[in-house]
């Protein structure tokens, strides 16, 4: 079955109760990146663009804005997926999204980072935001998780808060806390990493995700794994 057919099924899965839900393509991109098929980010964007172009409710200028919005959210979702999938996969996913993005849209995308670290105060604010998010995700298990990280390697917890949770995960300029958590859940599910999947599943629920969201991710990842001919993940959502 062609990837476009799979993607249409994924879109239907996520939008069956909400015709304007655009979470599907962000999570599909996260799963595809994690499964190391970055070339299929291009048909993800093509399907998004087609849906926008077919809308009879949008003017031409609104369609352009919708495409810009979609690319920005796709970029952010693929970027955040590196925390679950690894940086090389993220680079390749973003490369293929850039290839798929039409030049008129690309020309109107921001040319400077959303994340500002131009002062020590900004860096400290980010770290505090990261600490707060870490505590929200792990809830009553926060101290135990941090203690375990320190035991494994004292630098591990510091890197998690200062480099991952602070500047990356906790930034909600383009994706909400819930959406960001679901990106991580998707990547961990696709790679079958059970221990971290369990923690981030609870974290997603703490940020407003529903059991239906998790069920949809489970179905989507299984669909893509079957398409790519890889073993279905055993880790439970």
DSSP string, 91-157: HHHHHHHHHHS-HHHHTTS-SS-SS--SSHHHHHHHHHHHHHHHHHHHGGGHHHHHHHHHHH-HHHH
Is 218 within a domain? yes
- The torsion angle over the Cα atoms of residues 68, 69, 70 and 74, rounded to 10 degrees, is 100
> How sure is the predictor about 118, in pLDDT bands with cuts at 50, 70 and 90?
confident
Whether pLDDT at 135 is above 60: yes
Residues 6+ apart with CB under 8 A from 9: 223
Is 56 within a domain? yes
The structure's pTM equals 0.94
How is residue 234 annotated by DSSP?
-
Is 147 within a domain? no
Structure tokens at 232: 């279905």
* pLDDT tens for each residue of 9-40: 999 999 876 655 789 999 999 999 999 999 99
Domain assignment of residue 214, given as a range: 3-114+210-228
CA distances from residue 32 to 17, 61, 104, 232 in whole angstroms, order as listed? 24, 30, 26, 14
Are 165 and 138 in contact by the 8 Å Cβ rule? The answer is: no
Structure tokens at 116: 């500002």
Looking at the structure of the chain, the number of domains it has is 1
Is 168 within a domain? no
* pLDDT tens for each residue of 41-92: 999 999 999 999 999 999 999 999 999 999 999 999 999 999 999 999 999 9
């Amino acid at each position: 079955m062609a990837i476009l057919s799979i993607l249409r099924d994924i879109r239907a899965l996520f939008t069956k109760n909400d015709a304007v839900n655009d979470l599907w393509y962000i999570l599909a991109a996260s799963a595809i990146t994690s499964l190391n098929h970055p070339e299929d980010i291009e048909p993800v964007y093509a399907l998004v663009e087609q849906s926008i172009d077919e809308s009879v409710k949008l003017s031409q200028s609104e369609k352009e804005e919708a495409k810009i919005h979609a690319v920005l959210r796709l970029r952010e979702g693929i970027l955040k997926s590196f925390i679950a999938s690894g940086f090389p996969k993220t680079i390749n996913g973003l490369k293929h999204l850039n290839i798929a993005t039409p030049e008129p849209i690309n020309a109107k995308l921001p040319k400077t980072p959303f994340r500002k670290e131009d002062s020590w105060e900004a860096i400290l604010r980010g770290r505090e935001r990261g600490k707060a998010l870490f505590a929200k995700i792990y809830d009553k298990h926060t101290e135990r998780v941090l203690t375990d990280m320190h035991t494994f390697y004292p630098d591990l917890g510091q890197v998690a808060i200062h480099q991952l949770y602070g500047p990356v995960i906790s930034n909600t300029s383009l994706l909400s806390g819930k959406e960001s958590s679901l990106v991580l859940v998707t990547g961990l599910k696709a790679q079958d990493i059970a221990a971290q999947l369990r923690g981030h599943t609870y974290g997603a629920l703490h940020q407003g995700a529903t059991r239906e969201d998790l069920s949809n991710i489970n179905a989507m990842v299984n669909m893509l794994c079957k398409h790519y001919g890889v073993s279905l993940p055993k880790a439970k959502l």
